[in-house]
Chain A
Amino acid sequence: MNRYLLPLVAVIVFLPFLVLGLRSDPSKLPSQYIGKAAPEFDLPTLRDNTRNLASADLTGQVSLVNVWATWCVGCRAEHGFLMQLAQQGDIPIYGINWRDNRPDAIQWLAQYGDPYVASGFDEDGRVGIDWGVYGAPETFLLSQEGEVVYRFTGPLSASHWEREFVPRIAELGK
């Protein structure tokens, strides 16, 4: 074989790996808790310091846990869609208000609407660390048993919802 063809052959052998790598898409950060129980937490709720939101509250039905904060532009971007989801009422959304300031967060919900059944107030970000939160916004899909089924990073939109969440929720409903 012509030795001047070798570089071309090497590149052609190598390219499929890059293509496959692209399809595996590590931006969907796998959560180490997938298929396992979500890390336990017990947080005061955002609106009422004397009441708590704990991991036990999330069992019994399929639910979403959305990590959000007022300082996060992506959270604002997905907020409209979360409101839409909440109005449909098919799935309860729990919030974890992450490394935020309480009056600001309450004000934010008053201004843009509150899609959450309840929001835990994770002031120092401890729960975020336990859950392996990489950056807000992040959304976790939990099964009836409180196991993490899926993790989504970044602002949620209708197309992501249809593609990634709806089939999984249907699966859980069986």
Chain B
Amino acid sequence: MVPEIGHFALILALALAACQAVLPLLGAHRNDAAMMSVARSAAVGQFFFVAVSFFCLTWAFLQDDFSVLYVANHSQLALPTGYKVSAVWSAHEGSLLMWILILAAWTMAVARFSSDMPEKLVARVIGVLGVLSIGFLLFALLTSNPFERLIPAAVDGADLNPLLQDPGLAIHPPLLYIGYVGFSVAFAFAIAAMIGGDLDQNWARWARPWTVTAWAFLTVGIALGSWWAYYELGWGGWWFWDPVENASFMPWLIGTALIHSLAVTERRGLFKSWTLLLAISAFSLSLLGTFLVRSGIIVSVHAFATDPTRGFFILSFLTVVVVGALVLYAWRAPALDSSAGFRLLSREMFLLLNNVLLVIATTLVLLGTLAPLIVEMLNGGKISVGAPWFEIAFLVPMIPLIFLLGLGMHTAWRQQNKQPWLRLLRLPAIAAVIIGVVLPLLFYGRVSLMLAVGSIAAVWIVISSLIQPIRSWRRKEGAAAITRAALGMCIAHLGMGLFVLGATVVSAFGVESDRSMRVGESVDVSGFQFELRELREVQGPNYTAIEGVVEIRRDGTYVGTVRPQKRQYLVQKSWMTEAGIHPTWNKDLFVALGDQLGDGAWSVRIQYKPMISFLWVAAFVMALGGIVAVSDRRYRRGAAQESAA
């Protein structure tokens, strides 16, 4: 019964999404206030029914209703309750339902926080979001119904994929989707503005907080995925340039370009058509990612169960949305660009460079991701573009981007006077070079060219990001109090600096060592002694495990104990590696059990990962910067006139 209610609620949501799409768009066209006023209530209603549907599916999981095919395939009686909930979005059908729920939630948020916007714009934005909802609801109902029955019901389920039985992965998809789907709001704003044909600076001011919020969630979502890959896959890497990782990373790169381009549009009224194009691209890349992941077109560790009809549906939807948006763009954009100029040394120029470099980086990632596909089409061969290619290609635009970032932050709009600019930045630049070279020598005892480039870049951004907050803090009473928006920018850039630092140090000084160990033996890695004290069997709720107890010492002093496990999940019979990690702020000591080699010996992978925690902390700092910037008063209601003045 409950699954049928869920299915029915989803159909009702589709009906409401149709109202939400058609009436407000038509109303805005005809200038009909009554039709436009449907937008907000339809959005709320659609959210309600999608939420009911989502709840019904969750309920089916909690009740172990194995007469629902999706539940039977992805849950099991002995699965811990928390994972029964996260199993809802562990595979295609349920995660699509979550995608729809998040889209409806964003729409409702737009309906709620848009009272200072013109009615017509609101109606169009919500209407465009309604069109997107229709697409995804049809996708779910026609090809991916999560409520499909299994008759006769299974006695027990097939269990959740053990890889996904992990707290990091339980919250990674929701956060990632909030970011992914959030770009649909920026997209809707762009389409709405183009339909209306007017795009003023207010438009950018309204679109900006939504875009930055989505970007912040996407940042954290990607970081959590990376963190999970690091400790759960048991390899100790943190980014693999896997097609599905790239699918989430491309919208992030374009989204980053978009939030910078929006700043120019808001403050100076420039880059208007470019901003629109980025808003369209960010969401199109989200859709492309969805297509790549769910159509099975590219083989990946992440790929969902594949089905050509699903791929065909998303591809049709993607074509309609992207081609429609770009036709509108080709028609409307020419009228938008203003001819107001800016000088060579100005913030506009730096933001332009930022955009160009980020778009180049995205294009490189896109090419690398799709090259296997395209080559296969052209001559039938199967190639794979590996991490080494990406690592080199990606650095080409990134290194200049990082150095320019520190300069651009301190450059004025329109025109920057050269002398004070040089005076301000001379000292930080010299300091960055010295600290960047000395720091690795001091702590790790060596330095190389690439390492120096990375650490100088990192220190440079960190110092540069701190200049403005420190100055404003030191003259407390001064007129130049820093705005939330500027503070947010500094925090986000500080996060970027921490990230570069972590990535540089861990790739230069990380040590991986595969050893064979017996109980009682000790090995030395990077000055730490790892002793395998015992191996024992451990019983989990739905798995049995062999657990190693490894004591870590440094020159005889006790450092810590880690307990890596090799788990066998009882239903799917698959073996999972649960790494034992001893984390401190400046390094991780990582031990993973490999295979049994016979004679009581085990292969053990030991890793020393200096400053790896910086990577994830950095992502949170970046996201925090975004949130602080969004809280700036000029995005709050009623503050519009003030900031325009």
Residues of A within 8 A of B (CB): 2, 4-5, 7-8, 11-12, 15, 17-27, 69, 71-73, 76, 99
Contact = CB atoms under 8 A, between A and B. Distances in A.
B373 A17 contact: yes
B73 interface: yes
A126 to B, nearest CB: 14
Contact of B572 (A7, A22, A26, A71): A71
Interface string B288-299: 000100011111
15 contacts: A2-B330, A7-B280, A8-B323, A8-B330, A12-B323, A15-B315, A15-B319, A17-B370, A18-B315, A22-B297, A22-B308, A25-B306, A26-B296, A26-B298, A71-B158
Nearest to A29: B299
A7 B323 CA distance: 9
A19 B374 CA distance: 11
A8 B326 contact: yes
Nearest to B284: A11
Contact of B326 (A7, A17, A19, A27): A7
A72 B72 CA distance: 11
B374 A22 contact: no
A71 to B, nearest CB: 6
A17 B308 CA distance: 15
A11 B322 contact: yes
Interface string B154-165: 100110000000
B433 interface: no
Interface string B304-342: 001110011001001100110011011001100000000
* Chain B, interface SS category: helix
A3 to B, nearest CB: 9
* Chain A, interface SS category: helix
Contacts of B306: 25-27
B277 A7 contact: yes
Contact of A27 (B280, B284, B308, B376): B308
Contact of A73 (B154, B284, B326): B154
Contact of B308 (A18, A25, A72): A25
A7 B611 CA distance: 41
Given A2-B334, A71-B571, A99-B573, A18 B297 contact: yes
A127 to B, nearest CB: 15
B377 interface: yes
Instruction: Determine which residue in B73, B326, B373, B376 has the highest number of CB atoms from chain A within 10 A of its CB, and name it.
Output: B326
A15 B370 CA distance: 12
B273 interface: yes
A7 B329 contact: yes
B482 to A, nearest CB: 37
A27 B296 contact: yes
A5 to B, nearest CB: 5
Contact of B158 (A8, A12, A25, A72): A72
Instruction: Determine which residue in B307, B329, B377, B571 has the highest number of CB atoms from chain A within 10 A of its CB, and name it.
Output: B377
Contacts of B376: 21, 24
A21 B616 CA distance: 35
Nearest to B281: A7
Closest 10 CB pairs of A and B: A27-B306, A8-B326, A73-B158, A21-B297, A27-B296, A4-B333, A5-B330, A22-B311, A4-B330, A99-B573
Contacts of A69: 573
Interface in B610-638: none
